């Protein structure tokens, strides 16, 4: 394995520590660095405090340090002054930056304040990184050119904390410059999405396959989220990126043979997107009848742009009266079996498919909790039915967890059941 | 100001560094600590690496260190072993924890694996914190009782990274225990929830009121999220907590007089909960007809436990055919006005109210984007109608943002419109 290039991310801002703002910048930067082969070793989040910033700068022992936040025009934004102190330099007015700040204010029809003009005062020893989205410039410090006895990294980069400004600056300037300066080894990734089996059981099922990855110098990560386990394979590209891609592809092929029943997609795909794409490919339509999921499956489906091409709508039949009147469930069927039962789920599916005249329909009825469970049908009991051109099928599931978790898993499981039916029709 | 109690948060997990998972735990913990008077000085995020964890533990110079992540059953979860190394202790089997793990698996009808049983092996020198939501126990280490020469904090707490498990553990055990052990200066809070006005305009409207807070030694924080601005008032309780509460209450009363049109709740309340409580109080029922929100309002309503007491169900009328057949919209009304129009929204509301025989109904039809906008009806145009015992009312909104943001703001705005109608009926 080639020498690793490593990074520390320092996120500055009181609002991050008190939970007022969630630190999404650090994760985004870490992902971007990973894509160009730089490993983020540590993220340090601190407040707008001089000593905290100095400590964090001095502690970092990675090749580079990327800093965000504390560059605003107000008094509590002290990053710039603290960087001057750390690097033994002074602020100096950058006339070309001042001109661009004035132009920015003219373009939005406002007068700049003195604090805005002061944003053109930047450390003398840094290379200024232009900000095309705002008035806080970025700064690139090469340690070799600084008076910074405690600096251990080769490069320090300071960027604004506003996500849109930071991202533009990273993509346009910082990432290309990192690749030029550090020539990090290229890393190749593939992420396989699975559902229907928990992390531990999945690990057991693919144990031999996992053991075989080391020989191909492939690393595996399990990334679990409710109802889903993502498997991320990565390998250093070394001299020949194609060879690394082929090594990974070979292993993914084998994985498909092992757990084809669990894999539903790849990369950034969402289950509702996979299902939507299949419906589009077949020119087919979908309707929904939801009881315990209360509209959540419909929400997932319609969160995809363009879903009106295949989704006509649905019925949320929370009350039994709605199940009877809108979906044609006979009252004696409800009395005999209860609302959470195979015949009711199947009748919900065929009822909504007929009423809305769609090719496919999915119905879900269950007990999301925390109340409503019985010894025979405890909280988490969910019947799912899928009706299509070739008939109706149903399944009973037992989910664990909070009301929210039961709803989420029911939705995922019902969409996966539909996905398999869509695939099975050929 | 009394002596500060400080905390370091250490978040462990490769997935956080590579941006696969956003670190929401740290912000939540920081907020909870703030509420009991503990200041978070630093958040350190590191991977599942022994040396990184040891370094982070040894560096922390705060009163307490709260650690999340790396407690899963798989091989790459090494937090527990590394804590043993840091504190000079060994793992020992905790029979009562093993019993609860077995009981957990029995309750969900599954067989525990060896790796699950191994979760009962915990450091001998820690106090075990029960996990009511999963199988990874928490650990509370008092430095005075450890062999840990490099430990500078008084207490170290290790918790699982799964947010629901960590939160339950924090609220039930860790926060009360922190208050008992550290007696941080008591802080009194009230958080007022507003909707319908952005942060800057709201700040302008309550400027004089905000200026008056300093005299009462009350601090104000604006906590904005999509469609909502929370106003959090806090004051040190000092000798007499009641006096601080009364100072805050007096200011909240004045705030209600200023912006009664914007305030919908307080504290941890959710809009759907406020609406549900009003429906319950009046013994009334609700149905929904959703087009552009695609079931999201229904999902919000049914995410509240017990919502079946007032919510009977709804129709997601995504296709025009469903609007006509299920909600009785005349086809010439659709042709003449388009689906996103006042008459269609109002007919959707009255149609679903009649079909589902409820006291109230809400209908939403709009253009969530990114496609489907026209010069007259750009993306973000949304018609909302509320029908009730005293007739139907509607309103047109223009929301900005992504598809997701338009859906979210439409839902919030429609529920707030219903809330005001429910209040107006007396």
The alpha carbon of residue B4 and the mean position of all alpha carbons in its chain are separated, in whole angstroms, by: 27
**pLDDT mean across residues, chain B:** 93
The pLDDT value given to residue A19: 86
Residue B3 has pLDDT above 80, yes or no: no
* Residues of chain A positioned with their CB less than 8 A from the CB of B131: none
User: Of A12-16, A29-33, B354-358, which range is least confident?
Assistant: A12-16
Q: Which of B73, B298, B371 minimises the CB distance to A200?
A: B73
Own/partner long-range contacts of A46-51 (Cβ < 8 Å, ≥24 apart)? A46/A10, A46/A11, A46/A12, A46/A17, A46/B41, A46/B42, A46/B43, A47/A12, A47/A13, A47/A14, A47/A17, A47/B41, A48/A12, A48/A13, A48/A14, A48/A76, A48/A77, A48/A78, A48/A79, A49/A78, A50/A78, A50/A81, A50/A82, A50/A85
Say yes or no for a CB contact (<8 Å) between B316 and A307.
Answer: no
Where b means 16+ CB within 10 Å and e means fewer, A289-322 reads bbbbbbbbbbbbbbbbeebbebbbbbbbbbbbbb
Do you find a cis peptide bond into B370, omega within 30 degrees of 0?
yes
For B322-341, give one letter per residue: b (16+ CB within 10 A) or e: bbbbbbebeeebbeebbbbb
Q: Give the tens place of pLDDT for each residue, B326-379.
A: 999 999 999 999 999 999 999 999 999 999 999 999 999 999 999 999 999 999
Test mutation, A210, A214, A314, A328, chain B, max B CBs within 10 A = A314
A-chain CB neighbours of B52 within 8 Å are: 41-42
Nearest CA in chain A to B314: A316
Strands A5-12 and A64-68: parallel
Size of interface A-B (CB pairs under 8 A): 263
H or E element at residue A265: strand A263-266
Helix axis angle, A403-424 to A271-282, nearest 10°: 30
pLDDT value at residue A426:
67
Task: Tell me the pLDDT band of B180, cut-offs 50, 70 and 90.
Answer: very high
Q: What are the DSSP E strand ranges found in B260-347?
A: 263-266, 286-290, 311-317
Summary mean pLDDT of chain A: 93
Quick one: closest CA in A to B229, which residue?
A20
Residue A2's pLDDT band, with cuts at 50, 70 and 90, is low
Which of A137-141, A340-344, B234-238 is least confident?
B234-238
Helix (H, G, I), strand (E, B) or coil at A194: strand
Q: Specify whether the CB–CB gap between B194 and B206 falls below 8 A.
A: no
Q: Which two tokens stand for residue A214?
A: 């080391």
Question: What is the per-residue pLDDT across A395-413, written as a single tens digit (0 to 9) for each?
Answer: 999 998 889 999 999 999 9
CB atoms within 10 A of CB A324: 16
Question: Which of A316, A322, A327 best probes binding to B when mutated, by most B CB atoms within 10 angstroms?
Answer: A316
Dihedral of alpha carbons A143, A146, A152, A155, sign = negative
- B349-374 b/e (C-beta count within 10 Å ≥ 16 → b): bbbbbebbebbbbbbbbbbbbeebee
Token couple for B212: 């008056």
Tokens 């082969």 belong to A37
Task: Report CB contact under 8 Å: A199, B21.
Answer: no
Question: Smallest CA–CA separation between B386 and chain A, in Å?
Answer: 18
Asked if A216 and A245 touch (Cβ cutoff 8 Å), the reply is no
* Chain B positions in Cβ-Cβ contact with residue A356 (cut-off 8 Å): 319, 321-322, 325-326
Between A264 and B226, residue with greater pLDDT: A264
d(CA B13, CA B22): 11
Q: Which of A302, A317, A351 would best serve as a mutation to test chain B binding (most B beta carbons within 10 A)?
A: A302
Rounded to a whole number of angstroms, the distance from the CA of A316 to the nearest CA of chain B is 5
Chain B residues in contact with A233 (beta carbon < 8 A): none
What domains can be seen in chain B, in order of their start residue?
5-182 (3.40.980.10), 187-266 (3.30.70), 271-424 (3.90.950.20)
State pLDDT tens for residues A131-179: 988 889 999 999 999 999 999 999 999 999 989 899 999 999 999 999 9
- Nearest to A15, CA basis, from A161, A193, A212: A161
Nearest-CA distance from B243 to chain A in Å? 25
Model confidence pTM above 0.80 = yes
Is the ipTM higher than 0.85? The answer is no
The answer to whether B149 and B104 are in contact (CB under 8 A) is: no
Residue in A18, A204, A270, A407 to test binding to B, most B beta-carbons within 10 Å: A18
Q: Which of A312, A318, A403 sits opposite B312 (nearest CB)?
A: A318
């Amino acid at each position: 394995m080639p020498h690793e290039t490593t990074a520390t991310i320092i996120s500055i801002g009181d609002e991050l520590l008190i939970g007022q703002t969630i630190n999404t910048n650090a994760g985004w930067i870490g992902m971007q660095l990973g894509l160009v082969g730089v490993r983020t070793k540590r993220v340090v989040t601190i407040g707008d405090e001089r000593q905290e910033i100095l400590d964090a700068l001095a502690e970092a022992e990675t090749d580079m340090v990327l800093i965000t936040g504390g560059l605003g025009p107000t008094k509590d934004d002290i990053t710039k002054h603290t960087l001057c102190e750390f690097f033994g330099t002074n602020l100096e007015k950058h006339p070309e930056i001042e001109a661009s700040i004035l132009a920015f204010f003219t373009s939005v029809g406002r007068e700049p304040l003195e604090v805005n003009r002061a944003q053109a005062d930047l450390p003398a020893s840094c290379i200024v990184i232009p900000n095309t989205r705002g008035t806080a410039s970025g700064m690139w410090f090469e340690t070799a050119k600084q008076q910074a006895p405690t600096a251990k990294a080769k490069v320090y980069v300071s960027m604004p904390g506003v996500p849109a400004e930071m991202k533009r600056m990273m993509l346009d300037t910082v990432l290309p410059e990192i690749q030029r300066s550090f020539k990090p080894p290229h890393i190749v990734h593939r992420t396989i999405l699975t559902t229907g089996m928990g992390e531990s059981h999945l690990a057991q099922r693919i144990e031999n396959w996992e053991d075989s990855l080391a020989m191909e110098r492939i690393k595996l990560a399990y990334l679990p989220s409710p109802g889903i386990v993502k498997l991320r394979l990565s390998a250093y590209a070394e001299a020949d990126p194609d060879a690394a891609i082929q090594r990974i592809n070979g292993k993914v092929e084998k994985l498909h043979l092992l757990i084809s029943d669990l894999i539903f997609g790849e990369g950034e795909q969402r289950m509702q997107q996979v299902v939507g794409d299949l419906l589009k490919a077949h020119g087919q339509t979908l309707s929904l009848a939801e009881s315990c999921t209360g509209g959540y499956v419909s929400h997932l489906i319609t969160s995809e742009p363009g879903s009106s091409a295949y989704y006509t709508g649905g019925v949320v039949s929370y009350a039994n009266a709605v199940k009877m009147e809108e979906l044609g469930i006979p009252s004696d069927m409800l009395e005999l079996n209860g609302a959470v039962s195979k015949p009711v789920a199947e009748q919900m599916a065929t009822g909504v498919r007929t009423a809305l005249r769609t090719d496919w329909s999915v119905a879900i009825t269950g007990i999301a909790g925390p109340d409503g469970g019985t010894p025979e049908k405890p909280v988490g009991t969910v019947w799912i039915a899928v009706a299509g051109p070739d008939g109706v099928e149903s399944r009973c599931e037992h989910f664990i967890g909070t009301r929210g978790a039961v709803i989420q898993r029911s939705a995922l499981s019902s969409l996966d059941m539909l996905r398999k039916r869509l695939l099975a029709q050929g």
